[in-house]
Amino acid sequence: MEKTADPTVSAARYARRRALPRRLPVLTTLCGLLLLAGCAGDAPSALNPGGAGATRVAGLWWLLFWISVAVFAEVMALLVWALVFRRGNARVRHGQPLRFVTIAGAGLPFVILVAVYGVGLRDLAALGDGPGPDAPTVEVTGHKWWWEVRYQGASGATANEIHIPVGERVKVRLRTDDVLHSFWVPQLMPKTDLIAGETRETWLRAERAGSYRGQCAEYCGTQHAHMAFLVVAQPRTDFDAWLARLDAPAREPRTDAERRGQQAFVQGTCAACHAVRGTGAAGRVGPDLSNVGSRWSLGAGAVPNDAGHLGGWIANTQTVKPGNAMPPQPVDAAQLPDLIAYLRSLE
Amino acid sequence: MSTTTTPPPGVSEQDLARLAEHWGERPSLRGWFSTVDHKKIGRRYLVTAGFFFVLAGLSALVMRTQLARPEAGVVSPQEYNQLFSMHGTAMIFLFATPMLFGFGNFLVPLMIGARDMAFPRLNAFGYWVFLFAGLFMWASLPFGAAPNNGWFAYVPLSGEQHNPGLHMDVYALGLLFLGISTTAASINFIVTALKLRAPGMSLNRVPLFVWAIVATAFMVIFALPALNVDNAMLFLDRRFGTHFFDPSGGGNVLLWQHLFWIFGHPDVYIIVMPALGIVSAVLPAFTRRGVVGYPLIVLSIVSIAIISFGVWVHHMFATGLPQLSYSFFSAASTIITIPSGIQIFAWLATMLLGRLVLRVPLLYVIGFVVTFVLGGFTGAMFALTAFDQQVTDSYFVVAHFHYVLIGGAVFPMLAGIYYWLPKITGRMYHERLGRWAFWLVFAGMHVTFFPMHLYGLFGMPRRVYTYRSEPGWDGWNLVSTVGSYLLAVGLLLVLVGVVHALRRGRPAPPDPWEGDSLEWATASPPEPYNFPVLPRVHSLHPAWDERTAESVRAGATADRILSDGRRTLVTSELDAHPERAVQMPESTLMPLVLAGALLVFFTSMLFAWYPVAAVAALAVAATIAVWLWPSRRPDEELGVSG
């Protein structure tokens, strides 16, 4: 407990408190290191861009980052100066350095902000500079909680996976079937919201082949966490081949198990909600499953796409992704392996 | 606990006894419920807001525990969504604003040398409504019926079709109910600060904290109607099938967002501005000099209040509005950082010229500068549309606004708690305990929220109850969770410190810090009548001004003691020239009764008991009629001296 109410404390205690100014620079250095260390890793990082839009924004970020570091250093220097030299016996000065406050607090920031605003405006214009009318167009519809993907000029559909040709600007037309969602591929393009009752447009351009993770960024309810997708950038010929397969009927079953699985699928409850091209199943409520075997995940990024997870998913999706629209299925144990075999064969 | 006041020269024992009789309440249960004393109401605001802060903080700890590792099952998605919604809603509406209004309630009359707020009964009413509305909302959580759509409640997800049940009805009705309290308090602050200032406290001598509170009150009055209209429309859409937000019926989903952010962005400043006022109030005592650039800071407060109404679209940069509107709102959002910059440099200049006394309140001010400046940088980044589109709705934005709100509001509040604790309770706090708490809070805050910048940039969206491990977000999330526990321990130590002060704290003298404003010129805690002699102000720092002390000694004439009733002085708006003495209302149960009737009304609306709601509405009207029935003595014109 304090002994006196007098806020001036003894010289010895002041000396001990000198530790503070030495601690502050350590703290800031640490923060900087954390930031740099973070650039590595396998995250779908906006700082590791793979496409034109995200590259622009990453450039803007580094500009802003270094300006912030410089200004922060200035503020910290003033603070440390005050802590080191303005304690103990420091004589209080009663001036009103209005010029200092105006220049450091308003003048300099104004100049910096106007310049940065100019750069920001240029980058905004660049992001708005979409592809021409002949560009390939993919139509993406947001659902609670998955992405329906269709291509203009193609009849087939897929889900949670968007294929694009490398090095080309692809137009993305965004709609939502229910609530708001937001389309975000950090390594390729900033967000565009999907607005109920309206259509929005954005575009993607990947500079190198590969897979880029995207995710819904606007809170959309119970399973907002599991509404991821993948953008697969591939050479033009591979893309064309992929797109051609999207129009063709799904692969026919080859084994007896697959055939039994197909029969169970088409005649059972599955077909009420799901479609498989070239069969009687034409449901539009859930994702089109014509190429489900080749997809990177189940449940829009909820679990890996392998036989075990698929079985669990069919039996009861609610344990995997609680709240999604697919009720637990009354599949009998004998049918389940056949269904798994059939769905795994759809590539 | 109150220190006995020895009468100042010129004031007789009888004067003091009469003042105590007019202003005090009987220490009974009825007295407790009927008090209209601004100091008690201020304390209640602080304690109640602190209680809601603990609840919202515990929600956050559960969330951080769930997010400590990928695919954890601590809570279900439905529970998590209610937790983050209640966390945000409560922190903004039930903690930040009421806490600062609590400071305002306790301090504004003391700082301007008045005996109470302008409308003491309205003040008590505001508190009861705040308490009831807060309980109304929190009560839904144990039943699993709490708001589950974020504090922003975007349609269509918050509409009846996608969100059946009571969740969003609780939200809409709760905020409408609470809005009554916030509006009442704001009107009261404005009138109090304009009409009840001590003689001589012209506008250029008003303490910066009071300026901040008044500007905030104006912002509330202009911003809150947008939120109220939004919630009224949401409730009508949900309950009565209107189509304000339903595109299939000709409505528009973006209408919700526009109205919400027309309120929501000024609200950020509604929270931060009084906190900045606390910084300006705390600094003089610990730098031994007045804050540099008083006129610049006032200018900055007023310009923030105005510009904050022109920036709401920067919350909607990803909705696909036309680029031209983006560039306008981007410019406004960029430029609003400048007034804050002016204040930061004014405080730095104050510290560079003064003599620093490094007690706990100053530690928090320094922690505030470091943290708020970092939050300011990311704020300026968000003003640039292209960058905003990349990081909005990611954890980067979570990092940003926690830097602004914890750094910019909670740190100043903590500075204020330690600074004014002796005045509020009459007890000194424990310095070493306070320091431990500070370092834990400071470190915990940065360990929790700094990594969020990183995993936000690495693509982790916010408002997710879980995540997969492949994207590589798990390590940083664990760091955040550890930090949140540090922060919680620090805040717990703050609470321990307050309890310790109340139980064991050394009795505080009237002015332990040599503060510069008028609250230090009276007892700790102040007597119910605040000042035996209403002071006369001669400068910006009245408590440092020998002439003010002199005026209390020499000028103790009847027109400044006003001991013949529950009375205070009314002065002119600009120059604070004495106009008349007004009779202030007595303690009454009416505020509690009216707030109770409103609680019945909103509860019966929630459960769709419309006949009960109709009866409650009638009761509300009847209570107001009884309350406002003319019964006051006419005011007395004063031939005031000097």
- Nearest Cα of chain A lies from the Cα of B338 at a distance, in angstroms, of 6
Cβ contact, residue pair A60, B154, below 8 Å:
no
Chain A residue numbers touching B327 (CB-CB < 8 A): 121, 124
Chain B residue numbers touching A104 (CB-CB < 8 A): 345
Cβ contact, residue pair B338, A106, below 8 Å:
yes
The Cα–Cα gap between A215 and A195 comes to 16
Query: What pLDDT, on the 0 to 100 scale, is given for residue A80?
Result: 96
Query: What are A140's strand-pairing partners?
Result: A149, A174
Cis peptide leading into residue B525 (ω within 30°): yes
Which helix (H) or strand (E) element contains residue A322? none
Task: Report how many Cβ contacts below 8 Å link chain A to chain B.
Answer: 309
Instruction: State the DSSP code for B406.
Output: I
Chain A residue numbers touching B390 (CB-CB < 8 A): 46, 54, 57, 61, 186, 190-191
Chain A residue numbers touching B3 (CB-CB < 8 A): none
Chain A residue numbers touching B381 (CB-CB < 8 A): 61, 64, 68
Chain A residue numbers touching B342 (CB-CB < 8 A): 101-102, 105-106
Give the residue-averaged pLDDT of B248-253: 93
SS3 call for B501: helix
Cβ contact, residue pair A186, B454, below 8 Å:
no
Q: Is the pLDDT of residue B10 over 90?
A: no
Chain B residue numbers touching A119 (CB-CB < 8 A): 384
As for the ipTM of the complex, it is 0.92
Segment 31-60 of chain B within 8 Å of chain A by CB = none
Cβ contact, residue pair B389, A38, below 8 Å:
no
Asked whether the whole model's pTM tops 0.90, one would answer: yes
Per-residue model confidence as pLDDT tens digits over A168-178:
999 999 999 99
Cβ contact, residue pair A86, B296, below 8 Å:
no
Cβ contact, residue pair A105, B344, below 8 Å:
yes
Query: What pLDDT, on the 0 to 100 scale, is given for residue B638?
Result: 59
What secondary structure does DSSP assign to A86-116, as a single string?
Answer: SSTTPPP-----HHHHHIIIIIHHHHHHHHH
Query: What pLDDT, on the 0 to 100 scale, is given for residue B261?
Result: 97
Chain A residue numbers touching B397 (CB-CB < 8 A): none
Whether the CB of B628 is below 8 Å from some CB of chain A: the reply is no
Burial class (CB in 10 A: 0-12, 13-18, 19+), B560: buried
CA angle B600, B605, B608 (to 5 degrees): 120
Confidence band, pLDDT 50/70/90 cuts, at residue A3: very low
Cβ contact, residue pair B154, A301, below 8 Å:
no
Q: Is the pLDDT of residue B215 over 90?
A: yes
Confidence band, pLDDT 50/70/90 cuts, at residue A14: very low
Cβ contact, residue pair B342, A123, below 8 Å:
no
Chain B residue numbers touching A130 (CB-CB < 8 A): none
Per-residue model confidence as pLDDT tens digits over A308-335:
999 999 999 999 999 999 998 888 888 8
Chain B residue numbers touching A76 (CB-CB < 8 A): 370
Give the residue on A whose Cα is nearest the Cα of B344.
A105
- Nearest Cα of chain A lies from the Cα of B315 at a distance, in angstroms, of 12
Instruction: State the DSSP code for A175.
Output: E
Cβ contact, residue pair A90, B464, below 8 Å:
no
Whether the CB of B514 is below 8 Å from some CB of chain A: the reply is yes
Segment 603-622 of chain B within 8 Å of chain A by CB = none
The pLDDT mean for chain A works out to 88
Token reading at B247: 């595109």
The Cα–Cα gap between B323 and B331 comes to 12
- Nearest Cα of chain A lies from the Cα of B49 at a distance, in angstroms, of 28
* Cβ B96 vs Cβ B56: under 8 Å: no
The Cα–Cα gap between B23 and B61 comes to 44
Among the residue ranges A126-130, B12-16, B239-243, B393-397, the one predicted with the least confidence is: B12-16
Cβ contact, residue pair A76, B506, below 8 Å:
no
Which among A56, A109, A191 is the nearest to B338, CB-wise?
A109
Give the residue on A whose Cα is nearest the Cα of B511.
A5
Per-residue model confidence as pLDDT tens digits over B126-163:
999 999 999 999 999 999 999 999 999 999 999 999 99
* Biggest distance spanned by C-alpha atoms of chain A: 94
Confidence band, pLDDT 50/70/90 cuts, at residue A28: low
Chain A residue numbers touching B452 (CB-CB < 8 A): none
Query: What pLDDT, on the 0 to 100 scale, is given for residue B565?
Result: 85
Residues 6+ apart with CB under 8 A from A21: A80, A83, A84
Q: How many CB atoms lie within 10 A of CB A327?
A: 11
Chain B residue numbers touching A98 (CB-CB < 8 A): 292-293, 296
Whether the CB of B326 is below 8 Å from some CB of chain A: the reply is yes
- Nearest Cα of chain A lies from the Cα of B445 at a distance, in angstroms, of 13
The Cα–Cα gap between A301 and B94 comes to 36
Cβ contact, residue pair B342, A100, below 8 Å:
no
Burial class (CB in 10 A: 0-12, 13-18, 19+), A106: middle
Q: Angle B38-66/B77-89 helices, nearest 10 degrees?
A: 150
Per-residue model confidence as pLDDT tens digits over A79-106:
999 999 999 888 999 999 999 999 999 9
Instruction: State the DSSP code for B159.
Output: S
Cβ contact, residue pair B78, A323, below 8 Å:
yes
Q: Is the pLDDT of residue A9 over 50?
A: no
Query: What pLDDT, on the 0 to 100 scale, is given for residue B555?
Result: 57
- Nearest Cα of chain B lies from the Cα of A330 at a distance, in angstroms, of 24
Segment 363-402 of chain B within 8 Å of chain A by CB = 366, 369-370, 373-374, 377, 380-381, 383-387, 389-394
